[in-house]
Structure 1
Amino acid sequence: MPESGYYAKRPRPQHRDYLRRYLEARDVVETVEELDDFRLVVRRRGMSGVRVYLTNSYEIGVADVEEILAEAPETTCIVSTMDYNHYSSEAKALATERGVGLFKAVEFLGAVYFDGEAFLGYLSPAQREALRGRSSS
């Protein structure tokens, strides 16, 4: 049966479950609580909790960040559940300015080890390598 756009923004259950399982396997994570299809609360040892908003939007732009934060103002992190999805640099800058992390799922799994500015500014090893490559050119 066709989905009729049901998962255009909504995270697929199997992707949400995958992310939850991987978070729970991290030593830094105490608990992961699912509030609904879109929201998780991640409690971490010795660090602040993270209120995650999950999305399956193909490209997260400024309007998406605004919409998510209007709908769920308690959000401290927006995570795209699919690694082929992406976000604009403007959306990342707006989220960071508002004190909200914006990540792909794989990036979030690395960022979860950090707090504060290090969390917000987290770059995956691939992103760090790409930056090194640009700076040496």
Structure 2
Amino acid sequence: MKRKNIEPVAYSSTNYFLNGMRGHSAVQSITSLGNDKYLIARTNGRDPLTIMVADIYIAGEADLYELSDQIQGVDALILIGFYNRYSSAAKTLAKNMGVGLFTNREFWGAVNLSGDKFMDYVSKGDD
């Protein structure tokens, strides 16, 4: 999402993310729901995840408030741009909204988890 989070994410970024996720051992399938949202069916009896992808350079609280209508019912917001990051306040706010907030790299680890471990996941290499 760009410019007030209204424009769709670049096709190349989305394609890179989806191709990677399709090869992940915890992902059974990915289905597009439109508007940068996807349903991820997971392996080993894990509950499916509804995710939204976005391209926000440094996501802060204001970005989450701006996206609040769009992320209702979403399990996770994934910042798929290579240099995308988020503030610690944004991570906390997202959790309070019932949404996991992850960078692309973090989501590779988080997709294996459920519950609070999923919501709280932060990779050791991202800070």
The amino acid that maps onto 2:14 is R
Q: Determine the structure 2 residue equivalent to 1:51.
A: 50
Structure-to-structure mapping, 1:87-102, within 5 angstroms:
87-102=86-101
Partner secondary structure for residue 63 of structure 1: helix
Q: Does 1:32 align with 2:46?
A: no
**Structure 2 Cα separation of the partners of residues 67 and 40 of structure 1:** 20
Structure 1 residue 37 displacement after superposition: 4.2
CA contact (8 A) 1:39 1:54 kept: yes
| Paired-residue identity, % | 27
Structure 2 unaligned segments of length 5 or more: list them: none
Closer, same or farther in 2 for the Cα pair 1:57/1:12, shift >3 Å?
same
Structure 1 residue 78, shift from structure 2 partner: 0.5
Equivalent AA in structure 1 for residue 34 of structure 2: D
Give per-residue Cα distances to partners, 1:6-48, cap 9 Å, x unaligned: 8444321111111111111112111101122411111112112
What are the residue-to-residue correspondences of 1:74-85 with 2, within 5 Å?
Answer: 74-85=73-84
Partner-residue secondary structure (3-state), 2:56: coil
- Partner residue of 1:135? none
Give ranges in structure 1 of 5+ residues lacking alignment.
1-5, 131-137
Q: 1:11–1:37: 8 Å Cα contact kept in structure 2?
A: no
Structure of greater Rg: 1
1:106 maps to 105
Counterparts in 2 of 1:7 and 1:66: CA distance versus 1, 3 Å: closer
Structure 1: which amino acid aligns with 2:119? L
Tell me by how many angstroms 1:98 deviates. 2.3
Aligned length: 123
Partners of 1:43 and 1:17 in 2: how far apart? 18
Is the helix fraction higher in 1 or 2? 1
1:53 match: secondary structure: strand
